[in-house]
Amino acid sequence: MNGKMVGAIIAILIIIGIAGIWYSSQSPGKNTQVNPKGAIVARMGSLNCYQYQENITTIQGNVTEHSTVEGGYSNDSYFFHGKKNGLEWWGLIEGKRLSEKVLKNGNVTHINVNLTQADLKDLTLYDPIKTGLRALGSASSVELSGSWITSNYTIYITYKGSGAIMSGTIKVLYGKDYTPEKIELTGKISNGKEILQEFSLSAKIIPSCQLPGWTQELKG
């Protein structure tokens, strides 16, 4: 048998093998079927840019606050534009440098500071992709209903410079390619037996790598 024939047979066997792997992964009841949780976590972890529109409610003691935030991540930069109770702010984090404009009672304040690692974790605590990835990844079991995946979670976080525990429920609405389209998180942040904060958030995820135009002002 000459070399060309051997090469052709090997190529055919390789193709047949690939086809068999693909077929077995598509066939019902096979162990090689896609694990939705694993696929969603992998997809969330691979997102190097995204935007979100988020509603957040936090409760600390007797104080309840409602906020709306349009934010995201792109080109190694976090950005966010938020509003709550007469307060509006625009922020850009590049590396560990925060540039922020705050509007309150008609007065504008500009802030430029270098962040510690703890500061950075606090400011990105309610990023739905960043925290949602950790929450869903920590789940030992999930429930599937249509295109929603739901699970309970417990993760260790840094909250106001100290270690704390965040626990609650996460729900993710995902598309055909397992890309998250909406993330809902509810839960509490605690330190031992003390509840430091309760929260709920709902975020629509937008596939975009563009920085908003207002970030140019903060870059300057």
Q: Is the CA virtual torsion 95, 97, 103, 104 positive or negative?
A: positive
pLDDT score for 14: 32
Radius of gyration of the chain (CA): 22
- pTM, entire model: 0.83
The full set of domain ranges for the chain reads 1-33, 36-74+115-211
pLDDT tens track for 15-61: 333 333 232 334 444 445 779 999 999 999 999 999 999 999 999 99
Cα–Cα dist 141/112, whole Å: 43
List Cβ neighbours of 175 (8 Å cut-off, separation of 6 or more).
Answer: 147, 181
Query: Tell me: the pLDDT tens digits for 67-113?
Result: 999 999 998 999 999 999 989 999 999 999 999 999 999 999 999 99
Please report which confidence band the pLDDT of residue 193 belongs to, taking 50, 70 and 90 as the band edges: confident
Q: Is 129 exposed, middle or buried (0-12, 13-18, 19+ CB in 10 A)?
A: buried
Residue 152 has pLDDT above 60, yes or no: yes
